[in-house]
A and B are shown apart, each in its own frame.
Chain A
Amino acid sequence: MSRLTRRQVLYSSAAALTGAVLAAPAAFPASAAGRPADGHGHSAGHGHSAGHGHSAGHQMPEPFDEVYQGRHIEGWPADDDGSPDGGHGGHHTGGAAGPHEGMDFVVRIDNDDLHVMRNADGTWISLVNHYETFTTPRALARAAVRELQGAELVPVVTG
């Protein structure tokens, strides 16, 4: 993708802010018991059963928009060309949602894009939790909030 993407524009401005973002976290989540039941895939090493609900038709998850542990998380399906669609018009003046064709769902935390990817079985991963799968983008966004402990996302650097 040759054009300057919306993500890159967003991130170039976000980069200037990253020195000031070390908000004090609340208690670190100590166990999976503290996590929402709708989310966790097979990170505990029990195979892939959690993801198979989506595997047949790859039904695109519903948009979401909520405050979770003090962070504004939102997500919605992207268009075929990578630009967001539907219901979030105020956000989307700049074109594409992300630099990668694999991005078919947009996830944001406090208006910063979180890079996400859908697995072949319909589960999801993010750049913040890249080695464990989640059944929905909302669960992935919540996991990222817990992992970030108040920190802001910064530009994705791909050299």
Chain B
Amino acid sequence: MAVRKNQADLTATEKRNFVDAVLELKSSGRYDEFINTHNAFIIGDTDNGERTGHRSPSFLPWHRRFLIQFEEALQSITPSVTLPYWDWTVDRTPRSSLWADDFLGGDGRSGDGRVTSGSFAFGSGKWPMNIRVDGRTFLRRSLGTGVRELPTRAEVDQVLAMPVYDAAPWNSSSDGFRNNIEGWRGPNLHNRVHVWVGGQMTTGASPNDPVFWLHHCFIDKLWADWQRLHPKSGYLPTGNTPNVVDLNDTMKPWNDVTPADLLDHTKFYTYA
């Protein structure tokens, strides 16, 4: 059983194994398929049309499945690797060990935002931007520029306290836990973190930055935390909702997995 850890608790060996597996997926071309998939859904998901990966109830189970698939790809290279999570309520500055050269590398430089240190820096030659929305071919970050502060623990707790999973109209204007954690409403959790990191993380091609996985792993953990806090609250909606993935509907692009299949993460992994 995979155990997902807080990135702050990883050993030097665990960091190196994670980074090396990510780089291997990149060089094999498999990494960019994940970027492609994410970009396609983020463009295709609309508030008034079909919506699966974002701005909809299936935001959480879709990303859970997406992360499992990525984690399995990492494990096909190094079986002991699991996804770490980034608790940005605690590790909330550019000085966090998350951004050290032995892990994800640092902030972008002033001027063009180019990340210049660590394995994912352009200069390493190992991290080309093949799937991109503009002409720049180097990983960029601008930590804390697009928005100054990461969400606080109090803001997270405010969202975790919401007892209803999601609500009509099941999109970016909904009340409920899902839309508040996604960030289109309320204190703005998930969306704000993308903006705080800056660079490719603000775009539809956000998985170009490996911190994407650590961010979404924490979002996934918060979903699990929410379930523990509200054991009687289930995924909604449960049937016959146009354009929206109901509890027992299969999700694209896999077409063989439903939100119901993904509610219990302990079938796949646990959080340390």
Contacts and interface: CB of A to CB of B under 8 A. Distances in A.
A159 B191 contact: no
A102 B49 contact: yes
Contacts of A129: 195, 202-203
A65 interface: no
A152 B195 contact: no
B133 interface: yes
B133 A156 contact: yes
B188 A152 contact: no
Contacts of A48: 184-185
A119 interface: yes
Interface string A11-51: 00000001101100101111100000000001111111000
B173 to A, nearest CB: 4
A132 B46 contact: no
A123 B258 CA distance: 31
Nearest to A158: B40
Contact of B42 (A18, A28, A130): A130
Interface residues of B, dominant DSSP: loop
Contact of A127 (B147, B149, B151, B204): B204
Contacts, number: 135
Size range of the chain B interface in the assembly: 35 or more
Interface residues of A, number: 45
A102 B147 contact: no
A151 B202 contact: no
A38 to B, nearest CB: 18
A101 interface: yes
B192 A156 contact: no
B186 interface: yes
Contacts of B188: 42-43, 45-47
Interface stretch (B64-72, B134-142, B231-239): B134-142
Contacts of B132: 154
B133 A153 contact: yes
Most buried by A among B43, B55, B111, B185: B43
A128 interface: yes
B185 A128 contact: no
Interface in B17-68: 33, 36-37, 39-40, 42-44, 46-49, 55
Contacts of B146: 43, 132
A152 B134 contact: yes
Contact of A28 (B46, B142, B171): B142
A28 B148 contact: no
B149 A156 contact: no
A120 interface: yes
Interface string B95-124: 000000000000000111100000000000
A154 B113 CA distance: 19
Interface in B70-110: 110
A127 B135 contact: no
B162 interface: no
Given A45-B147, A120-B172, 6 more contacts: A31-B148, A117-B46, A119-B55, A151-B134, A158-B36, A159-B33
21 contacts: A21-B134, A25-B112, A28-B142, A30-B145, A43-B147, A44-B192, A45-B192, A47-B186, A47-B187, A100-B43, A115-B204, A127-B133, A129-B203, A131-B190, A133-B184, A151-B134, A156-B43, A157-B39, A158-B40, A158-B44, A159-B37
Interface of A: 18-19, 21-22, 25, 27-31, 42-48, 55, 100-102, 115, 117-121, 127-133, 147-149, 151-154, 156-159
Q: Which 7 A-B pairs have the closest CB atoms?
A: A159-B36, A21-B135, A102-B46, A158-B40, A120-B173, A131-B194, A131-B191
